[in-house]
Every structure is written in structure tokens, then in C-alpha cells.
Amino acid sequence: MAAYILRRLALMIPTLFGIMVVSFVIVQFAPGGPVEQTIARMSGTAVGATERVTGSSAGDFAGQAQPGQNIGGSSAYRGSRGLSPELIARIEAQFGFDKPPLERFFAMIGNYLRFDFGRSYYRDISVVDLILEKMPVSISLGLWMTLIAYGISIPLGIRKAVKDGTRFDVWTSTIVVVGYAVPGFLIAILLIVLFAGGSFWSIFPLRGLTSSGWETMPWHQQVLDYFWHLVLPIASMALGAFATTTLLTKNSFLDEIGKQYVVTARAKGLTERQVLYGHVFRNAMMLIIAAFPAAFVSAFFTGSLLIETIFSLDGLGLLGFEAITSRDYPVVFATLYIFSLLGMVIGLISDLAYMWVDPRIDFESREV
């Protein structure tokens, strides 16, 4: 066990390094970086979403621009005509682009090994504080959506396996497949129209995680208000998540039910419930456990940009999108590093959970 864990931990290092290398190389060829965006704002041709520059605003730089000095084609940046080379050099230094790419990369990796992720280019806040600020929304969406999806899908999948081929199996399969096929944002819009004052009932709130004055409410009202705000976003995300887990559970149980040990258990006089939950359940649940980390990481870390936007929830999904569009590289690389690392750790934990489900698995003899 210990040897397997050490091998997996050692494998994480080159894997994480490779992810960062590929991402860094791709970014070097992406147009419209922070330097270009700052120059565009100073030249009045900006179309980006960002409005601030860390430490110094674009206006501070613009105050030092010399419109009469045309540097023509001497600059590598489009739109830099009329700006002095000294000013452009200051802008490059502001974002750290005055150093060669290789030096910037290894400096970034060295800082990340110390869990120093720097500060956002466009917000006067550290990247870690920015992620922690958005984390409650993502925790609320990802955690509850995963728990509810698994809490409904597993019993439903077991029931479908027991009732395989019946009318119950057919109409429940139709419902979960339709729920999977319809995009979550369409479900969100439908729920808003029906239950958030769109055209019919005004039962649930339209935006945010809490109501105004939430801090002054008694604790039990705070809890109720919190879950009241979560109903529509969680429903929008969870309906599509039911299908995969439900059908995976059903097929896994059907595969186990047809094996010889189940026939033997029934021949010994065990009840159907004893056979199902005493023998089949443990073996069939191995596939479900294997799928859980991917579902959890997807729901928790990536979030749902459209759902967050529709319900005005400022979470990690919206943060990642804004960071990419504004070329806020410290946020982009830090979130990639943190979530990739956590994803690999969760994958290791899921493998170790196999042993808890089935002690016959021998990790010591397993090759990574």
C-alpha cells in the first residue's frame, strides 16, 4: 500500500509539470495579452473586459504617453504607435514580460512550489484570496449537486436494475435521458419562467446565495434562506447529472446479478434483499466509486459558467472565464495548478477507496 501511494505521488510531479508546460507554451502564442490590452486602452482601441491594471492604472501610464512621438514599426505591439519605448518597457515590467519566457516559467514554478501564486493583474488582491472569495459559491453548487445526484441516482439505478424491462424502467429511462439531453441553461431559464417570477409563480429568488439582511437573521432562518436560494441553480445542474450515474448503477447491478455467486446465494435460501445488499451491492458499487472523483471535480472545480451567470452567482466558473478573457495569467495558471493537483489527489483517494470496498485488491502488486 505504502509503495503504491509513493509511486502515485511521485507520478504527480511530472504530470503536473507537463500540464503547466503545455499551458504556458499555448499562452505565449495567444494574442491580446495584458501588455497588448493595456496599450490598447491607452490608445483608445480596447475591446477587452478589464478596466484596471495592478499597481498603476492605464490612465497613469497614459499620462506619460507622448502622442507626438511616433515610434512606428519599432514596437512589437500592434496599436503602440505614439507611445514611447520607455513607457512600453514600463508596461512590460509591470506584468513581468521584460524577462525571457523560460525565466518567467521557472520563476512561476518556483513560486508555485512554495504555494505563492502572486496577485491578480487587474484586481488589487492576491490570487489565493480571490479564489477563497469565490469558493463558497462553488462549494454550494458542486457539493450539493453531487450529493443530491448520487443520493437519487444510486437508489434509482438499483430499482431500475431490479425492475429491468418493466414499465417503471422504461419511463424512468426516458425521463433521465431527456434530462441529460436538455442543456442545463435551458432548464435554468425554464425554472426561472415558471418559479422565479418570470411569467407564472414567484416562489424562489432569482439571484444570489442569500437575501439582503441575511446577516441579521436568526441562524435557522439563515439556513432556510440559503437552501431556498439554492433550489433553482441546483435543480438546473443536477437534472443532467442523474442520467450517467443512474444508468451506470443500473448496468453495474445487472452485470453482477447475472453472475454465478448470486445464483448460489439464492439457492442457499437468502432473501432478495440479502442477496442484493449483502452480496451484489459491494461489487457493483466499485464502478460508482471510480466515477465519483470525476463527477465531484467536474461539479466543484469547473463549476457552471452559464448557471452562475443566469443566477448571478459569482463563483469559480465565472472567475475562470473572466481570467481567460482578460488574460489575467496569475489567476489562470494558479487555478490550473491548484485544481490539477487536487484532481490528482482525489483520484488517488478514489483508488484507495477501492480497497475499502473490496479488500481483495492488492495495491502492492499493482503497476502505476
Contact 363, 1 (CB under 8 A): yes
**pLDDT of 52 over the 50 cut:** no
Counted domains in the chain: 2
Residue predicted with more confidence, 355 or 132: 132
Do 285 and 183 share a domain, yes or no? yes
Q: What is the phi/psi pair of residue 358, to 5°? A: -135, 95
Instruction: Supply the range of the domain harboring residue 265.
Output: 128-325
| Integer Cα distance of 3 and 351 in angstroms | 14
Q: What is the pLDDT of residue 17?
A: 92
Query: Can you tell me which residue has the cell 494574442?
Result: 31
Tens-place pLDDT, residues 326-354: 888 888 899 889 888 887 887 787 777 76
Report residue 171's pLDDT band, with 50, 70 and 90 as the boundaries: very high
Cα angle at 260 between 256 and 264, to 5 degrees? 115
User: Per residue in 13-33, pLDDT tens?
Assistant: 999 999 999 988 888 777 777
* pLDDT class of 272 with cuts at 50, 70, 90: confident
User: Would you state the pLDDT for residue 72?
Assistant: 34
24 and 135 share a domain? no
Q: What is the reported pLDDT for 140? A: 81
Same-domain pairing of 118 and 178: no
- Are 103 and 220 members of one domain? no
Domain end marker among 93, 122, 151: 122
Per residue in 202-259, pLDDT tens? 888 888 888 888 888 888 888 898 889 888 888 888 777 778 788 888 888 888 888 8
Give the CA count within 13 Å in the CB-facing half-sphere of 124: 4
Q: Which residue has the higher pLDDT, 233 or 34?
A: 233
167 and 93 in one domain? no
Q: Examine the domain organization and report whether 136 and 93 are in the same domain.
A: no
Residue 283: Cβ within 10 Å count: 17
Same domain, 116 and 135: no
Yes or no: say if 47 and 327 are a contact pair by the CB < 8 Å rule: no
Query: Confidence class of residue 67 from pLDDT cuts 50, 70 and 90?
Result: very low
Distance (Å, rounded) from C-alpha 312 to C-alpha 318?
Answer: 10
Is 308 within the bounds of a domain?
A: yes
Going by the DSSP 8-state scheme, the letter that residue 196 receives in this structure is B
Question: What is the 3-class SS of 238-275, one letter each residue?
Answer: HHHHHHHHHHHHHHHHHHHHCCHHHHHHHHCCCCHHHH
Residues 71-119: tens digit of each pLDDT: 333 345 555 555 667 777 777 777 777 788 888 899 889 989 888 888 8
Q: What is the CATH number of the domain that holds 207?
A: 1.10.3720.10
User: Would you say residue 306 lies in a domain?
Assistant: yes
Task: Name the domain boundary from 122, 147, 167.
Answer: 122
137 and 277 inside one domain: yes
Residue 134 pLDDT more than 80? yes
The model's pTM: 0.71
Domain identity same for 225 and 319: yes
- My answer on whether 118 and 204 are in the same domain is no
Among the candidates 305, 325, 345, a domain finishes at 325
Tell me whether residue 24 is in a domain: yes
265/239 same-domain check: yes
360 within some domain: no
Closest CA to 88 of 74, 102, 106: 74
The C-alpha cell that represents 171 in the structure block: 419511463
Residue 330 lies in a domain: no
Instruction: Count CB neighbours of 264 within 10 A.
Output: 12
Same domain, 186 and 318: yes
